[in-house]
């Protein structure tokens, strides 16, 4: 089978293997919601969310549209799509474009039950330079506002359904780390939206994402096509200028929304080691604002865990009470970061 035929077969197979309901289903209504509103948390499919978090009853995944020449896939963020997409060539990933779902497609999948299953919905949005999918959710809620209020009254629910969008100014493992921390927060359990908003914004300000792209030229092409000025540092760092040929693998970061070049190396493994070392240094210097580190990798997680650098990080984390979470990279994440990339997210304490 030729490479192009294999890619087409895999994409077709992926579109049929997303084992979640086609539409949001109605859930039983808990009478306690009259006193404590039930808050849901939504991330887009470009977030490197673990399967355990994705299965949490309070979590919803906002689909993203992935387009290739001649094919479109609605990525629902499922493990099945990630498994199949990892077999796609990096050239095929490079040719993809990520965009927000249409309001019509979102309404078909999630209206009206999304507004009935929760009283509050907190949407952790990926950096707007990459995609602005939250607008589709906002428009869906706005278009059906009167109907939502009527349906909620019929079911003796609070009529004041609330959607809160948090611009995480982050990507890949960053929003996944925020989702993990917010789900276990007291503000989430109490449905206190003002306090939850403030907590989420504080976490976003402290978030750092480090990236070792597997194919830097693909990053330059994909992000350059978006023509967003915020992405310029990454686009320039990944471009194939003559001065960079000998050190073609950059170490990139996104700190509180600012895209930066941290270092440049001659080998990808060296760049990946520096990403891991950034976490080790943060642990060693007691610089973490939360004892959790999130990694995502487009490759074998078993092989990643066997790296000496990862073994050393695991030992150091255990000694300091820091939890490491490792997941596969999402399909949207692969498009933005390129195939065979390593991403790491942590929360850093503010400078004294």
Q: Find, among 172, 62, 196, 55, the residue nearest to 122 by Cα.
A: 196
- Average pLDDT of the residues of the chain: 89
In percent, the amount of the chain with pLDDT more than 90 equals 70
pLDDT at position 2, please?
A: 54
In terms of pLDDT, which residue wins out, 279 or 33?
279
Lowest mean pLDDT among 44-48, 158-162, 310-314: 158-162
pLDDT at position 36, please?
A: 85
Output the pTM of the full model.
0.90
Question: Strand pairing of 71-75 and 64-68?
Answer: antiparallel
pLDDT at position 132, please?
A: 95
pLDDT at 63 over 90: yes
Q: How far is CA 204 from CA 44, 47, 168, in A?
A: 16, 14, 5
pLDDT at 161 over 50: yes
In percent, the amount of the chain with pLDDT more than 70 equals 90
pLDDT at position 9, please?
A: 42
Count CB atoms within 10 A of the CB of residue 154.
9
pLDDT at 80 over 80: no
pLDDT at position 17, please?
A: 43
Query: What domains does the chain contain, in order, with CATH numbers?
Result: 3-202 (3.40.50.10170), 206-347 (3.30.1180.10)
SS3 label, residue 94: helix
pLDDT at position 22, please?
A: 67
Lowest mean pLDDT among 21-35, 104-118, 179-193: 21-35
Q: What is the DSSP letter of 56?
A: S
- Report how far residue 286's alpha carbon sits from residue 31's, in angstroms, rounded to the nearest whole number: 44
CB hemisphere CA count around 123 (13 angstroms): 21
Chain segment 201-224, per-residue pLDDT in tens: 999 999 999 999 999 999 999 999
The H or E element containing residue 74 is strand 71-75
Lowest mean pLDDT among 9-18, 116-125, 128-137, 265-274: 9-18
Q: Which residues contact 210 (CB under 8 A, 6 or more apart)?
A: 251, 252, 253, 262, 275, 278, 279, 343, 344, 345
- Report how far residue 7's alpha carbon sits from residue 89's, in angstroms, rounded to the nearest whole number: 7
């Amino acid at each position: 089978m030729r490479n192009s035929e294999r890619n087409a077969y895999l994409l077709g197979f992926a579109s049929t293997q997303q084992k979640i309901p086609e539409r949001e289903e109605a859930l039983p209504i808990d009478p306690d919601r009259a006193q404590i509103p039930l808050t849901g948390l939504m991330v887009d499919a470009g977030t490197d969310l673990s399967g355990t978090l994705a299965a949490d009853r309070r979590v919803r995944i906002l689909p993203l549209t992935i387009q290739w020449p001649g094919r479109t896939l609605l990525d629902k963020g499922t493990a099945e799509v990630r498994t199949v997409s990892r077999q796609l060539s990096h050239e095929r990933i490079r040719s993809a474009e990520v965009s927000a779902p249409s309001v019509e497609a979102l309404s078909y999948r999630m209206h009206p039950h999304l507004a009935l299953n929760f009283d509050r919905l907190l949407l952790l949005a990926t950096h707007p330079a990459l995609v602005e999918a939250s607008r589709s959710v906002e428009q869906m809620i706005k278009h059906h506002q009167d109907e939502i209020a009527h349906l909620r009254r019929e079911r003796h629910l609070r009529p004041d359904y609330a959607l809160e969008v948090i611009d995480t100014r982050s990507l890949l493992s960053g929003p996944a780390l925020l989702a993990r921390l917010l789900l276990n927060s007291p503000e989430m359990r109490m449905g206190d939206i003002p306090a939850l908003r403030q907590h989420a914004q504080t976490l976003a300000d402290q978030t750092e994402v480090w990236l070792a792209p597997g194919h830097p030229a693909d990053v330059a092409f994909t992000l350059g096509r978006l023509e967003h000025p915020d992405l310029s540092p990454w686009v320039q760092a990944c471009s194939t200028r003559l001065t960079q040929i000998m050190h073609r693998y950059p170490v990139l970061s996104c700190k509180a929304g600012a895209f930066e070049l941290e270092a440049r190396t001659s080998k990808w493994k060296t760049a990946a080691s520096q990403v891991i070392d950034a976490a080790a240094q943060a642990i060693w210097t007691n610089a973490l604002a939360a004892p959790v580190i999130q990694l995502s990798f487009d490759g074998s997680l078993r092989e990643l865990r066997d790296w000496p650098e990862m073994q050393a990080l695991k030992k150091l984390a255990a000694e300091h009470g820091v939890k490491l979470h490792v997941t596969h990279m999402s399909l949207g994440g692969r498009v933005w970061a390129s195939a065979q990339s390593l991403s790491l997210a942590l929360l850093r304490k503010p400078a004294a």
